[in-house]
Structure 1
Amino acid sequence: MDDFFNEMQLPFANSNEELETISNNAFKPLFDIKKFEIRAEIEKDKGIDFHIELKLQRSDGKSVHTNFRFAIQLKATENIIKNTDGSFSKQIELSNVNYLLNTGMPAYYVFYHIPSKTFYYENVNNFLVDIQSKENPFKTQQSYSLRFEKLLDQEAINQIYQEVYKKGKFQRLINEKITLRPISAYSEDKISFDSNLNITDDADIRNAIELVGLNLVNNAKWKSVIAYHKKASGNVAITSLYNLVIGLAHYYDGNMYEALKFLRDAERQKRDLSSDMKNHLLYFYAAVRYFFGMISEVEFERIMVKLESEQNIGLYVKLEKAKKDYLDKTSDDAFVIFTKAIDEIIQSPNADEHIIINAKREKLLYEGVNNNMEFVRQCCIVFAMENISFDKSIRNEFVKEIIQIHIDWTDKVRELHTDALNKKDFFSYYNSILVEVKIKYQFLSNLKILFDTQEKSISKMTSEMKDQIETLLEKINRAVEYFTEVGHVENQAVSLSLQYEILHFINNFNQAEISLNELERIIDIYESKELRTKLYLLKSRGTQHESFIDFMAETSERGKRNHELMNKFGEEMKKMDEDERIEADIARKGLLNIHLFPIGIFKFPKAELENVLEVLNVKEDVKDKFRQLFGMIIPVINILNESVECEGYANGKADDQGIISWQNIYRIRKHFYENKFYRSHSF
């Protein structure tokens, strides 16, 4: 058969075509038909061998054609010498490089080494970068050497899929945005993209921030809002709502200058805002201007009064007012009034979950402070009673009661923690952590200092107390990290201050100094007058436990002076009794009897009734009742109280206010003695 063809004129076989066939047949099986559609460039091939389209499997399991494509130029050879680094080099015409680049789609050179049956590849973009780095500005080459060293294996094919998908999606979005731009309401909006094909569109940023920006701010993600805003051009902030959201984000981030700028712009366009958003703008714009001293306290308060009746922001104003009123009042019912105001906010039909959890937290804060103050007062009473009776068992019931109050309060705080975590409201959670740490640190430090001054019974911390302090320290450390991360400057300062105080309390002065330095650093950065004042007070007056030590020392000294004074009053009143006994108890007509609790029954002339009522400081509205009682019974007046509101023993010895009560008793007894209103010995 060979002889038959030897003399026949036939076309010679083309080794290049054979290589092309071999390489094509080996190339196509590399690509999974479920993910790729390969189309060979058969007619009029100008430098592209294949166009390959991506397929995509959707979430419903169906596969779709995306029309996201890439081009392939396939090279093959049998005889080629490896480079010393194991790569292969092929000359590529510059015209072919330009041709591939002009497709607008990703393009790749693929090289098939037939002897080893191995494919290599390179992205034409990378080849272009290499050419540019070698380009001689005075001489243009016609071809360049492309070094193939990347294996075209399944990992590489998956990477090509991702690159083509990303580029295709990018091209689709860009085309759409450019096409729709002329009909946009904001024709000055800019579109930009980075080297990673991330598109930035002013319109998208504005829409997103206006849609979810307030929710992000409410969830302590104001840094994300600011970062997203910074991706846009300078034309993006052209609506009132957008400026309001960015202003609020900067407000919570502690950047008052930027907050003022955006809130001012929002104010200029506020006609576009809803009524509720106008109220929010009014509140925060006033707060920022007041911060900078641009409006007076009177003007700020006037705005707050105006907002108090509004549905949503009004509840926040009422909460701040309730706190301010409580701190300004010194009356015995101040806490009751405060609690009532807070409960009204919580139960309001307009209250959302944010104001409710804020109100509950403030209520627990001041309840805790109140409990700690009452604890100190009761401790002093118990210690005084023990000193008189020398019975140390008196404290047992007291301790049980105090512990139960502390447990009940802790349970309510934990409930607040759980509520915040269930809502994934981490900002509220760490705010309630601040309340818990503040109150428990105050309680534990007060407890130790009180017993130190009384009997040195716990001059060294018990293991239980150490464990509790360590737990508080762990919690406040996490709070510092959280508020630093979200960028809430005020809470960051509060948490650092508490961290400093606790470290100082356990004598870890080195770490305490680090916390104090960090506190000073952030205050210097944000230039807050309020925070600077708090820092000054912390450094000048000392920590809470240092202030309490000073208070106890002063109280102890004052107690000694009061004790001496009370002894003096007692001795003088005994002398008065002795002097009265010398005079005969002459029966006189027209005398009235009165029981001055706790010192006894006294007689005075009926004509002196009005004088006696004045000396005893009987309230005007009950004087008539006393006038009627005299002659019928012996009225009782508790002179432990400075004023008399009713007849009777009132709260008995529970009304004893120490030196204040004894000064009142001495004043009345002396007046009776000087006016010869003598003690009655007949009863």
Structure 2
Amino acid sequence: MTREEFDKQSLPKSDANVNLETFSRNRLRAMFNVEDFEIRDELQHDKGVDLFIEIKRNGNSTNLRFAIQLKATNSLAKNKDGSISYSIQIANLNYLLNDGFPAFYILYNKQEDTFYYERVQDIEAKLREKYKDTALPQSYTIKFKKLLDRNTIDSLRSEILSRGYLRRALNKELKLSEDGKELKQSIVIQEDQNIYSPKENIKFLERYGYILLNDGRFSEILDIEKKCHPAENTSASFHFICGTAAHYKGLHYDALRHFKMADKASNQLHTETNNMILYYRTHSKLNLGIINKDQSMGYMEALLDSDYLGLFLRLQKAFETWYISRDKASEKLARFHKEVDSVLSSPHCSESIKTTAESYVLSVEGHRINDQLLDDLIKFRDSMGMYSIGPDAIKKREEQIIKYNQHFAELKSKAQKDRNRFTYYAVCLNGIKILYTRTFYVHIILGMNTSTLTVTSTLSSEDKELLKEQAADTGQIALAYEEIGVSDNLIAALSQQYELLHFAGNFEEAASVLKNMEKLISDNEWHGLESKIAYLKNGGTSHEQFTEMVISNIYKAKERERQHDILRSEIEQMDIEDQEKKLSITGEKVYLQIFPLGNFCLPKENMNVIFDALNVSDIAKERILNVMGIGVKPILNAFRNPIVTEGPDGGFSAERVTGSLERIHKVRKDLRELGAYKI
């Protein structure tokens, strides 16, 4: 064959469309970085996919891929909106949609040397919207408008990686029935692409929820609870666990909703668990302002006889009763310890209850030391510095403080060892409260100017530093409560921190803590706590209340002394008037010594009336008459009421009774009115 024949030989014609397809493929390949993508041609039995593009990540192939149906044109007229119309077959669209891989139509416009793209899912959505009431056509015209460039490719890469993660997680959770027509259990996909089975999560909480509650992992419970919707066939235990966690987190409306659901199957629960529901429900309602304190106390009284919860409530009541009682210290302390011992001897008393009992005993020890200190401070003040404590009393006090500090350290250590965070923080707060109280007792009692009724002294630098440290420690405990999610304890800790800062004079920091509490209460609708914060804000701190009490007591004492001066003056005036008058008693006279008023002369005929006015008992009357019968002047102690015997009967020791001077004034006045004269 000659060269001329070779050049003119008959050969298959080159297809312009094929050339354009090849050109567009090569141009498309150039847009994808080989370090991030692996492009594979679909060559064998092509049914509608031109290319598969696999994502690479950190130098590794991922098998996360997407399908491309590539179209190309030399030039097409653009629509008014700048888009390019191109027709596709519905069969091809369905083919691309049927697989789980993402798929795209890409159009190359050679005249512009530009690529456009559309997601097959978006195309189907528009198609279904247009033909929602009619059968689908055989073909559909796509309006390509989205430009494919480097930035778009990077965005698509991130999307494909996310879809790949979701697809793998979804495949793990998908469990089909034997015939493959339905799922064995429902699954839920969240916005953050987490996939879960409500049924499995419900089972998990029912099985392990009590352990999570005991560990104080309330947030974890509620995170799982969010993944239990739609909740089907939930048990009473499930709702008790979730309701309790919600209660501690301060989500009281959620708690009440769960407890209401638990009530529907309360027969599934142990009696003690139902008691706990009543307890938590009551506190949630109280915090929301649905019921008041008095109503809540009624519910609590009904639970005192329950096996476990009742023991805790009895300890709480025993401490509160001791704290507010005005009985003799020895009597109320004996009652407190008797109730504690009764709780500890119960067969239902757990280690947790024992630790709680020990914490209440520790609290009483601390308060008693403070009460003794307060008594000594008042005596020292009232004696104008002359009162002093003997060496034996000092030694005893020191031993009590050492014992308390040792008990405090041991209980903290025990709570840490048992991983009982609630008791540990409660013991720490109690210790801080005792020290805070002790500090303001000393400062206010010794610094109070009884003339101006104001505290004129300032806190020492040592006291300020101590209060600062206590406030910081209390703040850390509040953060721990916030992390655990126990609303009541959180507010209690913040309230204590506010008191410490306010007493130390750090008013800006105190205001910040108060603002935080107000926001927490407002955000969570804890309306039942609003009054507590308002009270705290308006002079309700412990040191402010104590200051008001001290001022009130001093004022009352001054007023009482003023009234006593008036009574003494009136008694003296009656004595003067008797001395100035001539004795005008006619008839038989009798003489009595009325202690401490002195000697009186009275008509014998008025003696019984005077005895009645003095409230003399029958036995005492008989003894008085016997003494008079032997010619001796009887003695009656007017401090006594009634007078039960003749004689001094303790003398001035009887004056210790409240109202003694008022009693003497009345006796003196009655003697005057009944015709008795002081001689």
- Where on the TM-score scale, by shorter chain, does this alignment land: which range? 0.5 to 0.7
| Structure 2 counterpart of 1:205 | 201
Distance 2:314 2:290 in 1: 23
Which of 524, 532, 535 in structure 2 is aligned with 1:534? 532
Separation (CA, whole Å) in 2 of partners of 1:401 and 1:302: 42
Q: C-alpha separation between the residues in 2 aligned to 1:293 and 1:467?
A: 38
| Aligned counterpart, 1:543 | 541
Q: Any idea what SS the aligned residue of 1:124 has?
A: strand
**Cα separation, 2, equivalents of 1:376 and 1:419:** 31
* Deviation of 1:245 (Å): 1.0
The percent identity for this pair of structures is 21
Q: 2:269 aligns with which of 270, 273, 276?
A: 273
2:180 is equivalent to residue 242 of structure 1: no
Counterparts of 1:464 and 1:260, CA distance in 2: 48
Whether the 8 Å CA contact 2:474–2:497 is kept in 1: the answer is: yes
Aligned equivalent of 1:318, options 297, 314, 329: 314
Displacement of 1:506 in angstroms is 1.5
Secondary structure, counterpart of 2:448 in structure 1: helix
Q: Which residue pairs with 1:506 in the alignment?
A: 504
Aligned partner of residue 469 in structure 1, secondary structure: helix
Paired residues for 1:164-563 under 5 Å: 189-191=185-187, 200-235=196-231, 238-289=234-285, 303-322=299-318, 331-332=327-328, 336-365=334-363, 368-369=366-367, 372=370, 375-384=373-382, 386-387=383-384, 391=386, 393=388, 408-453=403-448, 459-563=457-561
Q: State the distance in 2 between where 1:180 and 1:237 align.
A: 23
Change (3 A) 1:194 1:549: closer
User: Are the counterparts in 1 of residues 636 and 643 from structure 2 also a CA contact under 8 Å?
Assistant: no
- 1:411-446 CA deviation, whole Å, 9 max, x = no partner? 444343233222111111112222222232122112
Query: Partner of 2:60: helix, strand, or coil?
Result: strand
1:562-605: CA deviation from partner (whole Å, max 9, x where unpaired): 33333343444445555667788999887676756xx7898987
Structure 2 distance, partners of 1:321, 1:189, is 49
Task: Please give the alpha-carbon distance, in whole angstroms, between the structure 1 residues aligned to 2:654 and 2:523.
Answer: 52
Uncovered stretches (5+) of structure 1, i.e. residues with no partner: 1-82, 99-106, 111-119, 141-165
Normalising to structure 1: TM-score of the pair? 0.63
> Structure 2 counterpart of 1:428, which letter?
T
Residue deviations 1:139-163 (CA, integer Å, cap 9, x gap):
89xxxxxxxxxxxxxxxxxxxxxxx
Q: Does 1:667 align with 2:666?
A: yes
Counterpart-to-counterpart distance in 2, 1:346 and 1:370: 22
> Within 2, Cα distance between the matches of 1:404 and 1:500?
32
Long gaps (5+) in structure 2? 1-29, 46-53, 70-100, 109-114, 116-164, 628-633
Check 1:301–1:480 CA distance in 2 against 1; reply closer, same or farther (3 A cut): closer
* CA pair 198-382 structure 1, distance change in 2 beyond 3 A: same
Give TM-score scaled by structure 2 length: 0.64
1:321-358 Cα offsets, whole Å, 9 max, x none, are 44665677655555654554344334423222333333
Change (3 A) 1:171 1:487: closer
Query: Which residue pairs with 1:93 in the alignment?
Result: 40
Q: Is the 8 A contact 2:610 2:671 kept in 1?
A: no
- 8 Å Cα contact 1:413/1:432 also seen in 2: yes
**TM-aligned CA deviation for residue 528 of structure 1:** 2.3
Aligned to 2:346, what secondary structure does the other structure show?
coil
| Residues 1:181 and 1:661: Cα distance change in structure 2 (over 3 Å) | farther
Equivalent-residue separation in structure 2 for 1:238 and 1:506 (angstroms): 52
Task: Give, as a single letter, the amino acid of the residue that structure 2 aligns with 1:124.
Answer: T
SS at match of 2:435: helix
Alignment partner of 1:125: what SS?
strand
Q: Quick one: distance in 2 between partners of 1:416 and 1:644? A: 53
**Partner Cα distance (1:679, 1:402) in 2:** 50
The 1:174/1:531 distance shift into structure 2, 3 A limit, reads closer
Question: Residues 613 and 208 from structure 1, CA distance in 2 versus in 1: closer, same or farther, beyond 3 angstroms?
Answer: farther
Aligned to 1:156: none
**In structure 2, do the counterparts of structure 1 residues 606 and 528 end up closer, same or farther at CA, with 3 Å as the change threshold?**
farther
Alpha-carbon deviation of 1:558? Answer: 3.3
Q: Is the 8 A contact 2:256 2:284 kept in 1?
A: yes
> CA distance change for structure 1 residues 539 and 281 in 2, over 3 Å: closer, same or farther?
closer
Give distance in 2, aligned partners of 1:545 and 1:652.
37
Code of the aligned partner of 2:353 = I
- Give 2:131's aligned residue: none
Query: How far apart in 1 are the matches of 2:421 and 2:356?
Result: 13
CA contact (8 A) 1:566 1:662 kept: yes
Counterparts of 2:283 and 2:179, CA distance in 1? 39
Counterparts of 1:97 and 1:492, CA distance in 2: 68
2:287 touches 2:529 (CA, 8 Å); kept in 1?
A: no
Which amino acid in structure 1 is aligned with residue 447 of structure 2?
A: D
Distance 2:303 2:169 in 1: 48
1:112-131 matched pairs, under 5 angstroms? 122-126=60-64
3-state DSSP class of the match of 1:541? Answer: coil
Cα 1:531/1:197, change in 2 over 3 Å: closer
CA shift in 2, pair 1:282/1:410, >3 Å? same
Alpha-carbon distance in 1 for matches of 2:671, 2:375: 32
The answer for the alignment partner of 1:28 in structure 2 is none
Identify which range, 89-98 or 483-492, moves more after superposition. Answer: 89-98
How many matched pairs? 538
Question: Aligned pair in 2 of structure 1 residues 536, 606: CA closer, same or farther (>3 Å)?
Answer: farther
CA contact (8 A) 1:383 1:454 kept: no
Three-state SS of the structure 1 residue aligned to 2:228 is coil
The answer to which of 252-261 and 401-410 deviates more is: 401-410
CA-to-partner distance for each residue in 1:420-474, whole Å, 9 max, x for gaps? 2221111111122222222321221121111111599992333442343233223
When residues 497 and 191 of structure 1 are mapped into structure 2, their CA distance, relative to the original with a 3 A threshold, is: same
Structure 1 residues 451 and 306, CA gap change in structure 2 (3 angstroms) = closer
CA change 1:413–1:668 in 2 (3 A) is farther
Measured against aligned partners, the alpha-carbon deviations of 1:380-406 in whole angstroms (never above 9, x if no partner) come to: 23322x23xx63656988777666655
**Mapped partners of 2:44, 2:400: distance in 1:** 82
Given the superposition, is the C-alpha separation of residues 457 and 433 from structure 1 closer, same or farther in structure 2, using an over 3 Å criterion? same
Q: Residue 457 of structure 2: SS of its match in structure 1?
A: coil
Secondary structure of the structure 1 residue equivalent to 2:196: strand
8 Å CA contact retained: 1:109, 1:123: yes
Match of 1:10? Answer: none
Q: Note closer, same or farther for the CA distance 1:91–1:470 as it changes in structure 2 (3 Å cut).
A: closer
- In 2, Cα distance between the equivalents of 1:293 and 1:523? 12
Preserved contact between residue 448 and residue 458 of structure 1 (Cα < 8 Å) = no
Q: Cα gap change, 1:181/1:512 in structure 2, threshold over 3 Å: closer, same or farther?
A: farther
Q: Distance in 2 between matches of 1:196 and 1:307?
A: 44
Distance 2:304 2:205 in 1: 28
Q: For the residues of structure 2 that align with 1:181 and 1:129, how far apart are their CA atoms?
A: 30
Secondary structure of the 2:538 match is helix
Shift of residue 514, structure 1, vs aligned partner: 0.8
- Partners of 1:650 and 1:207 in 2: how far apart? 78
Inter-partner Cα distance in structure 1 for 2:264 and 2:416: 39
